[in-house]
Amino acid sequence: MIIDANASLGHWPFRHLQDSDADGFVRLMDAYAIAQAWVGSFEGIFYRDMGQANRMLAERAASHRDRLLPWATLNPAFPGWHHDLAVALDLGMVGVRLYPNYHGYELSDTCLTECLTAVAAASLPVAIYQRVADERLHHWRCMVPPVEMELGLEPLVDRFPDLPLLWVGGTTPAVVSLAEVVRQGRVYVDTSRLEGIECVARVVDAVGADRVLFGSHAPFFYLEAALLKLTEAGLDRSTRAALLHRNATDVLAGAG
């Protein structure tokens, strides 16, 4: 069984992406035997009104509710996020995604603390996206620096030690350098942007097999890349099972 902890649906503004609609994405999942995907929406990155983005996502995922588990996007720096969270809970969304760099706040900002307090009270896991696309390849009128996890992660872990926190889009050296912080809290890292030879094995060695989630970042990335990185890593059966589904199951069970 494979659970993809990092997928998205909707319209990416700078390029047409194949399989970014729900039916197409489920066909892609079938081709690679992905049982379940946690999906957010590209609109959630770029829209102002998260309510609209989240409703669109919920509608898309509804026809494949057993396969596509929707994650709401919140913008704590924009008025009304409390209402967006309440609506997301009503819509049955299973987690919250945050894009601090695209939405214009820092990990140290009070608005984020307030938001995480509310999300923790609602027993949802949180995913913080460090980056969505390589910043060297951004559109020349839309350059967005990555989130500074190196400075911001530890205070969050200290403040919310029991909150399942997904660090999405971390690079191999960044994750390895913060391995102790990852272990201190309930932090999970996804595999989508890990790079370098045997990168997944090296990150497992650093943070532990119980803290790594299989994440493809499809359809923005080729889904096959995440699977082949596991092959390259040469993981034993138990570690592979942890990354492919066991840890993801723990995230949702532990949050709820």
Count, residues near other proteins per rule CB under 8 A: 35
64 part of the interface to other proteins, by CB under 8 A: no
* 214 in Cβ contact with 2 (< 8 Å): yes
| Binds other proteins by CB under 8 A, chosen from 33, 66, 79, 136 | 136
Contact 156, 106 (CB under 8 A): no
Q: Which of residues 46, 78, 102, 221 is near other proteins by CB under 8 A? A: 221
Residue 148 within binding range of other proteins, rule CB under 8 A: no
Asked if 195 interacts with other proteins (CB under 8 A), we say yes
How many Cα atoms are found within 13 Å in the side-chain-facing hemisphere of 22? 19
Instruction: Compare residues 85 and 204 and give the one whose CB is closer to other proteins.
Output: 204
According to CB under 8 A, which residues from 9 to 48 bind other proteins?
15-19
List, in sequence order, every residue forming a beta bridge with 69; answer none if it has no partner. 38
In the set 137, 236, 238, 253, which binds other proteins (CB under 8 A)?
137
Report the amino acid identity of residue 206. A
The Cα angle at residue 100 between residues 121 and 131, in degrees rounded to 5: 120
Residue closer to other proteins by CB (options 16, 237) is: 16
Residue from 30, 49, 108, 222 in contact with other proteins (CB under 8 A) = 222
- For residues 200 and 235, the answer to whether their CB atoms sit within 8 Å is yes
User: Which residues contact residue 50 at a Cβ distance below 8 angstroms, ignoring those fewer than 6 apart?
Assistant: 44, 72, 73, 74, 75, 78, 81, 84
**Cβ-count burial of 64 within 10 angstroms (0-12 exposed, 13-18 middle, 19+ buried)?**
middle
The residue among 98 and 203 lying less far from other proteins, judged by its C-beta, is 203
Q: Return d(Cα 30, Cα 41) in angstroms, integer.
A: 20
Note whether 254 binds other proteins by CB under 8 A.
Answer: no
* Residue 143 engages other proteins in binding (rule: CB under 8 A): yes
Q: Binding to other proteins by residue 107, rule CB under 8 A?
A: no
Binds other proteins (CB under 8 A): choice among 60, 103, 186, 193: 193
Nearer to other proteins, 62 or 142 (CB): 142
What residues line the site for other proteins (CB under 8 A)?
15-19, 133-140, 143, 193-199, 218-225, 227-229, 231-232, 234
